[in-house]
């Protein structure tokens, strides 16, 4: 520990996790010098302006509080690696797209590159902390790379400190986490390293919520937490299909079931499917691990959570087409919301993308409105995940219009699809929207976000996930 600082931290990776996590550490620990580093100059430049590279409520204020004081953003990784006492690795670990394990295994190439970079540069001992979500036993690989390059008097301790923040609520999640998990070698040096990192969090988080475990439990807990959360969403979504067939109401079921303390209320909100960069990737990672260890029944069990999610998205597209007289060719369909959830501009694995892809195959004219998503981000993700490339297929640019005004997006439309639960969608004048639409005016609510009774009174034909159709099941909902 050196000069005026109690501790010097470097975080490699200035993304959705690295940026907010380090901004909170810097805010809560003014005597800790925090540098967020990245190989992307564009990303770092944006962190140094007031137009941050990610949208997250409360983030800009938090960054501004410490930036230039004890929070810095830099691409000079060589210098910062050498100076740091603790180095967090918070780089992306996407699903492999080719080679062994393609489509399931996590690609930990970026973590390995960070380890090699640290090994090459470090001239003093470091604590290296995996913040990225990784397959269990990744720390072993990182430790071996570091150990193979150890110079005299330079030692490395490798810890696991997975992140549990959710996008859209990252700042409150970081300020008041349910728990912080730190795993490390159960040796005197490992335990001392755990204590160094625990002390940082203990500045604002009660000790009872800082859990310490062995390395492998920590790495695996992260995958298990996401698998359990996603499993709840798939479970309630499977029931939504049964509700539509029987006249039961999925919201009533969610409430009745969730009031059992043993089950709990949260993560039982039915939807068009879960999206985001984590759930699918992390379950696939778990599936691949189970298969690697010869546990095929365990792999099959978890894979079903993803299959149910795919079914839910497909079911929604099919419902749109079948309700609209089995054809949407040439019809204008408005997609309200493109982000994978509200209060984020992130579109990775967003369910809206799969619905747009399916509707494009039916030759619909799609108009998208989202308060945070740019056209560029929409096409980038569509190309990466669905292989739909507007540059090689210019017809697509005519078929997908991105609007900046929701009323313009809905004007002349045959149907509206609610894909993200943005609060502003509740505030619109739906009478005005209805008047400007083609009739019958369809509305498909993939988030159970709007007041369906009020919409039906205006004249909309409403279809909503897991909700009884009032024509098919009279008496199942208040008229
Ligand atoms: N997004 C979330 O909400 C969330 C929450 C918890 C955990 N995680 C996990 O955290 C990790 C990071 O996720 P993210 O969403 O922040 O990713 P991200 O893609 O937003 O950011 C990753 C950053 O790492 C940088 N990077 C890649 N290789 C690098 C290298 N060798 N050196 C320095 N920088 C490098 C990239 O340029 C990028 O800016 C993943 O493993 C993810 O699964 C994500
Ligand atoms: O009842 C629910 C809850 C969520 N979702 C959907 O599930 C997806 C994921 O939502 P959420 O978990 O809130 O957001 P993420 O930012 O993906 O956060 C998850 O993934 C992160 C990355 O690993 C973890 O850190 C978080 O703890 C974990 O909640 C989104 O599409 C939501 O709309 C539902 O459909 N119904």
Q: Name the closest-CA residue to atom 3, ligand 2.
A: 267
* pLDDT, tens only, 315-343: 999 999 999 999 999 999 999 999 999 99
Q: Name the closest-CA residue to atom 26, ligand 2.
A: 166
Q: Name the closest-CA residue to atom 21, ligand 1.
A: 15
- Round to whole Å and give the CA distance between 440 and 453: 16
Inter-residue contact 383 to 389 (CB < 8 Å)? yes
Query: Which residues have CB under 8 Å from 180's CB, separation 6+?
Result: 161, 198, 201, 205, 209, 210, 211
Query: Which residues have CB under 8 Å from 238's CB, separation 6+?
Result: 308, 311, 312
- The domains of the chain, with CATH numbers, are 7-213 (3.40.50.720), 228-464 (3.40.50.720)
What is the position in ligand 2's atom list of the atom closest to the CA of 233?
Answer: 36
* pLDDT, tens only, 285-314: 999 999 999 999 999 999 999 999 999 999
- Round to whole Å and give the CA distance between 209 and 55: 28
User: Ligand 1 centroid to 37 CA: how many Å?
Assistant: 11
ipTM for the complex shown: 0.98
Inter-residue contact 237 to 279 (CB < 8 Å)? no
Decide: 341 in ligand 2 pocket, CB within 6 A: yes
User: Ligand 1 centroid to 235 CA: how many Å?
Assistant: 29
pLDDT at 478: 74
**Which residues sit with their C-beta closer than 6 Å to ligand 1?**
12-18, 37-40, 43, 90-93, 110, 113-114, 132-133, 163, 165, 167, 277-278
- Residues marked as catalytic: 278
Question: Which token pair is 285?
Answer: 């990672």
* pLDDT, tens only, 3-24: 799 999 999 999 999 999 999 9
Inter-residue contact 444 to 417 (CB < 8 Å)? yes
* pLDDT, tens only, 222-279: 999 999 999 999 999 999 999 999 999 999 999 999 999 999 999 999 999 999 999 9
Q: Which of 271, 315, 229, 241 lies closest to 419, judged by CA?
A: 271
Decide: 224 in ligand 2 pocket, CB within 6 A: no
Residues counted in the chain: 479
Question: Which token pair is 108?
Answer: 């930990």
Ligand with smallest separation from the Cα of 344:
2
Long-range contacts from 315-318, C-beta under 8 angstroms, 24+ separation = 315/241, 316/272, 316/273, 316/351, 316/355, 316/444, 316/446, 316/465, 317/354, 317/355, 317/358, 317/359
């Amino acid at each position: 520990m050196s000069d005026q600082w109690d501790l010097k931290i470097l975080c490699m990776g200035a993304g959705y996790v690295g940026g907010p996590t380090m901004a909170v550490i810097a805010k809560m620990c003014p005597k800790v010098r925090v540098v967020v580093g990245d190989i992307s100059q564009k990303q770092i430049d944006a962190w140094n302006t007031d137009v941050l590279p990610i949208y997250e409520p409360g983030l800009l204020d938090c960054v501004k509080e410490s930036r230039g004081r004890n929070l810095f953003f830099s691409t000079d990784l060589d210098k910062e690696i050498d100076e740091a006492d603790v180095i967090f690795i918070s780089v992306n670990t996407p699903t492999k797209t080719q080679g062994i394990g393609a489509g399931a295994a996590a690609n930990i190439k970026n973590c390995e590159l960070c380890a090699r970079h640290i090994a090459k540069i470090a001239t003093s001992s470091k604590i290296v902390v995996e913040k990225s979500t990784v397959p269990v036993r990744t720390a072993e690989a990182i430790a071996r790379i570091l150990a193979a390059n150890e110079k005299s008097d330079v030692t490395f301790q490798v810890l696991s400190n997975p992140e549990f923040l959710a996008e859209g609520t990252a700042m409150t999640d970081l300020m008041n986490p349910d728990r912080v998990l730190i795993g490390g070698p159960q040796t005197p040096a490992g335990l001392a390293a755990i204590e160094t990192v625990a002390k940082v969090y203990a500045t604002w988080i009660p000790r009872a919520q800082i859990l310490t475990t062995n390395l492998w439990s920590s790495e695996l807990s992260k995958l298990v937490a996401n698998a359990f959360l996603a499993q709840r969403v798939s479970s309630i979504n499977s029931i939504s299909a049964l509700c539509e067939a029987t006249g039961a109401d999925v919201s009533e079921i969610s409430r009745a079931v969730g009031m059992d303390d043993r089950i709990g209320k949260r993560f039982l909100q039915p939807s068009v499917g879960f999206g985001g960069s984590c759930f699918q990737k992390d379950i696939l990672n778990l599936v691949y691990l189970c298969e690697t260890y010869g546990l095929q029944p365990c792999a099959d069990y978890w894979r079903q959570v993803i299959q149910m999610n795919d079914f839910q998205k497909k079911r929604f597209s099919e419902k749109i087409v079948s309700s609209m007289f089995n054809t949407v060719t040439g019809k204008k369909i408005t997609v309200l919301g493109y982000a994978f959830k509200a209060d984020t501009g992130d579109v990775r694995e967003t369910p809206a993308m799969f619905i747009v892809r399916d509707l494009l195959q039916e030759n619909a004219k799609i108009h998208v409105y989202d308060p945070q998503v740019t056209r560029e981000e929409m096409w980038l993700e569509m190309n990466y995940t669905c292989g739909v490339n507007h540059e090689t297929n210019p017809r697509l640019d005519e078929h997908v219009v991105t609007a900046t005004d929701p009323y313009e997006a809905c004007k002349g439309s045959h149907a509206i699809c609610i894909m993200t639960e943005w609060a502003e969608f509740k505030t619109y004048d739906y009478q005005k929207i209805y008047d400007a639409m083609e009739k019958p005016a369809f509305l498909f609510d993939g988030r159970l976000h709007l007041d369906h009774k009020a919409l039906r009174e205006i004249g909309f034909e409403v279809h909503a996930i897991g909700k009884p159709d009032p024509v098919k099941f009279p008496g199942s909902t208040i008229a």
